[in-house]
């Protein structure tokens, strides 16, 4: 978000951490409504979300705070449906995170682990609703395998997953319910979803709150359906659903926290000054060329308000189990679609995101990562050739590392993002940039500087161009 904002933005994680630190978290109106609803209906409070300290989609400290809130408010039945990470953190830390939760539950004498799912199943974002259904059925009907010792569960999963062609990672652990607890989500229950990042919370939340939404998929321009129609077999009634942040219009629930409104972010500012734009990416990174450059929270791709002279092109990501199976992803299609639009000669600014180095990097499978990088090298090379021949300027950067480091200091697969410095390249001969000290928030002011457009007062970071 800082890339398009041109300023440092306090985002979800820091906002919620601050609320916990200042104790306002425990008076959050929506969370308290959920606890009151469960008490009034003599039902359960269910807490869903990614249990890790990766800080990308959620944070385990927020789960601990919710348990403390539940205890303080006298709730008797609190059930945690734990989605495991293995992607933004080391691949096999799941047992450690669950033990941390269990220790806090034991200390407070409140709560139980209802079930465990890998994020591959519960947190899909690419309309692979058959995956989400596996987690949904375990949470709602106990329709699936079970465990009675969560520590043993992880050992068994790490041994089993390679036998079915999946990595021995928390990301892929198969949804199981705890047979020592009736942790099913039932009619009249309250649910709090702890994920603050929207994109991977949308599908499962939509199933709970708007179950017929995916029943009639839209038809694409080629006459095919955008995704396979789906509706859950068991539809729950009278749920009180709380989203930690706004997820999408398809999710019908209360919203606990709101991000501050951002004015004069790059996308709207360019549109308001008459510049034509193209946003283009495949499904996995579409939010990154809309949300992140427009300061909205609409991860479902619906941008409000619509921008003048801004065309958005979405290329479907390939339907594969994991992207090491197709490291090219849809990069060539994205590149071809871009060149087609560029040749129409109507564009001032293009914002494009290639997904490969991140999505394939998360697998930490070396040959696949090499293929992904080679693919991007070819695509960027063709785009550069067009740009050079037509008097354009390319800016190349990333918002985090991944593919450059796939083995950690202990020789284990490195599937998480890295904190390494990212490149920022501008292909304008003779241009001088600050040699060091730049940050992502400098990028939007630099773009405006290249366009000769004065930056708005809200963008308080500077251009990286040395005059």
CA distances from 350 to 278, 332, 347, 370, 386 (A): 5, 17, 7, 26, 13
Alpha-carbon span 4 to 176, nearest angstrom: 41
Which pLDDT tens digit goes with each residue over 441-451?
Answer: 999 999 999 99
Q: What's the confidence (pLDDT) of residue 461? A: 97
DSSP bridge pairs for 82: 49, 116
How many Å separate Cα 375 from the centre of its chain? 24
Report, as an integer, the average pLDDT of 426-436: 94
Reply yes or no on whether the pLDDT at 86 is more than 90: yes
Task: Supply 450's token pair.
Answer: 């290249």
Q: Point out the least confidently predicted range of 167-176, 202-211, 313-322, 389-398.
A: 313-322
Task: Supply 106's token pair.
Answer: 């034991």
286: CB partners within 8 A, 6+ apart: 301, 312, 314
Which pLDDT tens digit goes with each residue over 225-249?
Answer: 989 999 999 999 999 999 999 999 9
Alpha-carbon span 193 to 199, nearest angstrom: 13
CATH top-level class of 29-255? alpha beta
User: How many other C-beta atoms can be found within 10 angstroms of the C-beta atom of residue 261?
Assistant: 8
Alpha-carbon span 267 to 443, nearest angstrom: 13
Q: What's the confidence (pLDDT) of residue 260? A: 78
> Could you tell me how many residues make up the chain?
467
Alpha-carbon span 268 to 459, nearest angstrom: 13
CATH for 266-451? Answer: 3.40.720.10
User: How many other C-beta atoms can be found within 10 angstroms of the C-beta atom of residue 442?
Assistant: 23
Task: Supply 417's token pair.
Answer: 């993002």
Reply yes or no on whether the pLDDT at 415 is more than 80: yes
Alpha-carbon span 171 to 433, nearest angstrom: 40
Q: What's the confidence (pLDDT) of residue 330? A: 98
Please provide the average confidence, as pLDDT, over all residues in the chain. Answer: 95
* Residue 422: burial class (beta carbons within 10 Å; 0-12, 13-18, 19+): middle
Which pLDDT tens digit goes with each residue over 262-319?
Answer: 899 999 999 999 999 999 999 999 989 988 898 875 444 444 558 999 999 999 999 9
Going from N- to C-terminal start, the domains of the chain cover 29-255, 266-451
Q: What is the dihedral of CA 31, 36, 37, 42, to 10 degrees?
A: 130
DSSP bridge pairs for 84: 118
Percent of the chain with pLDDT over 90: 88
Q: What's the confidence (pLDDT) of residue 409? A: 86
User: How many other C-beta atoms can be found within 10 angstroms of the C-beta atom of residue 407?
Assistant: 11
């Amino acid at each position: 978000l800082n890339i398009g904002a041109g300023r440092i933005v306090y985002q979800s994680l820091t906002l919620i951490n601050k609320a916990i630190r200042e104790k306002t978290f425990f008076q959050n109106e929506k969370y308290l409504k959920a606890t009151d609803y469960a008490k009034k209906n003599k039902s359960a409070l269910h807490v869903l979300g990614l249990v890790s300290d990766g800080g990308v989609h959620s944070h385990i400290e927020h789960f601990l705070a919710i348990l403390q809130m539940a205890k303080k408010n006298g709730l008797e039945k609190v059930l945690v449906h734990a989605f495991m990470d293995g992607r933004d953190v080391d691949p096999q830390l799941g047992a450690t995170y669950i033990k941390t939760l269990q220790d806090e539950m034991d200390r407070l004498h409140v709560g139980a682990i209802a079930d465990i799912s890998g994020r591959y199943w519960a947190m899909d974002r690419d309309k692979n609703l058959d995956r989400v259904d596996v987690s949904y059925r375990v949470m709602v009907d106990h329709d699936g395998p079970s465990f009675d010792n969560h520590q043993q569960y992880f050992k068994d999963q790490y041994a089993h997953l390679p036998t079915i062609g999946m990595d021995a990672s928390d990301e892929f652990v198969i949804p199981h319910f705890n047979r020592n607890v009736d942790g099913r989500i039932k009619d009249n229950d309250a649910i709090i979803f702890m994920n603050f990042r929207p994109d991977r919370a949308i599908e499962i939340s939509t199933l709970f709150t708007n179950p017929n939404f995916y029943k009639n998929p839209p038809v694409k321009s080629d006459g095919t359906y955008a995704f396979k129609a789906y509706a859950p077999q068991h539809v729950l009634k009278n749920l009180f659903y709380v989203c930690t942040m706004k997820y999408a219009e398809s999710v019908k629930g209360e919203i606990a926290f709101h991000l501050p409104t951002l004015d004069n972010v790059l996308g709207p500012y360019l549109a308001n000054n008459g510049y034509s734009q193209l946003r283009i990416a495949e499904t996995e990174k579409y939010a990154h060329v809309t949300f992140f450059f427009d300061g909205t929270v609409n991860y479902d791709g619906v941008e409000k308000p619509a921008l003048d002279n801004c065309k958005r092109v979405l290329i479907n990501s390939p339907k594969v189990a994991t992207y090491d199976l197709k490291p090219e992803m849809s990069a060539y299609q994205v590149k071809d679609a871009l060149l087609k639009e560029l040749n129409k000669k109507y564009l001032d600014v293009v914002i494009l995101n290639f997904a490969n180095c991140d999505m394939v990097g998360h697998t930490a499978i070396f040959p696949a990562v090499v293929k992904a990088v080679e693919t991007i090298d070819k695509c960027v090379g063709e785009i550069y050739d067009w740009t050079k021949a037509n008097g354009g300027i390319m800016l190349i950067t990333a918002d985090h590392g991944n593919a450059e480091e796939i083995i950690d200091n202990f020789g284990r697969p490195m599937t998480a993002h890295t904190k390494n410095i990212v490149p920022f390249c501008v292909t304008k001969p003779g241009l001088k940039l600050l040699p060091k000290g730049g940050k992502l928030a400098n990028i939007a002011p630099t773009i405006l500087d290249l366009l000769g457009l004065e930056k708005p007062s809200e963008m308080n970071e500077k251009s990286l161009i040395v005059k």
